[in-house]
Amino acid sequence: MSYCSALRRRKPLKFSDTPLTAGTRVAARIEYHGGRYHGWQAQPHLDVPTVQESLEQALRAVSGLPVRTACAGRTDTGVHGFCQIVHFDDPVGRSIKAWVMGTNRHLSPDIRVHWAQAVSEAFHARYSATARRYRYVICNTPTKPALLGELVTWYRQPLNIELMNEAAVFLLGEQDFSAFRAASCQASTPNRCVTGCSVIRRGDYVIVDITANAFLHHMVRNIAGSLMTVGSQAHSVTWFEEVLNQRDRNLAAETAPPEGLYLVAVTYPDEFSLPAVPEGPMLLEGQL
């Protein structure tokens, strides 16, 4: 299906203009270009732009009162959000239409609210999530692209996706991911459960698709960096397995750049009835 056909077939969401009850919990899907921000998390002690601060300023403009958000995953500087899920508690009783369209009016064009809906107080964007899915998008061409510099990672050497998929198999299951954990990671345990990891090629793009219950700091970018060295045959599949088993970050490849990384989906229990999310990011839509 072409991109245009996909857009024609997708039914637009309708946003109610009926005011909510003050205190209602609201969940929302946020999309953003991470290249212009110092990560998701607000950093009031630093004079740097963050996605959370920009969003909360726009929400405050709609409500007239401070609004604090919680997110599904705190993305790093330069990392993009195609499907970041947040929640906040409506302090005054605005409508869903106001929370979507009004908030977007107060946001810069590189951040967008795609939908919002009332949810139960039991919903928490972070703690209710059962899985996160990331895509790492690589432009695998001899010449660096002129138009996609902040949206993909460029890798000159030809990549063998068969070898990359052989290596990716070793990531599956619950295990210690210290080999792909940043030194600055503050997680209490290096154990994570990866439920899916695959590498596909679509024209000039190579896409690493990985799903886990949660991720360590820089985990996806560190995995992508090592998978690329396998794909270029600078290292072997056996080397990748040994790096994982040795649990030593110093043995793995360099951290891959942030530009190609997207948070593309977050999974929640059916009881919350959140809208389905299209395949993304949009530059790949219609190809996957």
- The CATH number for 240's domain is 3.30.70.660
**The total number of structural domains that make up the chain:** 2
Residue 214: C-alpha distances to residues 21, 28, 174, 243 (Å): 33, 20, 11, 21
pLDDT (tens digit, 9 = 90+) per residue, 65-120? 999 999 999 999 999 999 999 999 999 999 999 999 999 999 999 999 999 999 99
Q: Provide the whole-model pTM.
A: 0.93
Q: Is position 268 within any domain?
A: no
At position 202, the amino acid (one-letter code) is R
State the Cα–Cα distance between residues 70 and 261, nearest whole angstrom. Answer: 21
Are residue 169 and residue 83 in the same domain, yes or no? no
117 DSSP β-pair partners: 27
Distance separating alpha carbons of residues 215 and 217, to the nearest angstrom? 7
The Cα–Cα gap between 174 and 216 comes to 13
Clarify whether residues 136 and 234 are in a common domain: yes
Do 23 and 96 have their domain in common?
A: yes
Enclosing domain of residue 169: 131-262
Q: Are 285 and 279 in contact (CB under 8 A)?
A: yes
Q: What percent of the chain has pLDDT over 70?
A: 94
203-260 per-position pLDDT tens digit: 999 999 999 999 999 999 999 999 999 999 999 999 999 999 999 999 999 999 999 9
Q: Is the peptide bond before 49 cis (omega within 30 degrees of 0)?
A: no
Q: CA–CA separation, 14 vs 137, rounded Å?
A: 31
* 96, 186: one domain: no
CATH of the domain at 93: 3.30.70.580
pLDDT at 4: 41
The reply to whether 141 and 237 lie within a common domain is: yes
Asked whether residue 2 is assigned to any structural domain, the reply reads no
Q: What positions carry a catalytic annotation?
A: 76
Q: Per the domain annotation, does 5 fall within a domain?
A: no
Do 122 and 99 reside in the same domain of the chain?
Answer: yes
Amino acid making up residue 88: F
Statement to judge: residues 46 and 155 lie in one domain: no
Tokens at 242, concatenated: 């040994």
The confidence score (pLDDT) of residue 7 equals: 40
Q: Tell whether 155 and 73 lie within a shared domain.
A: no
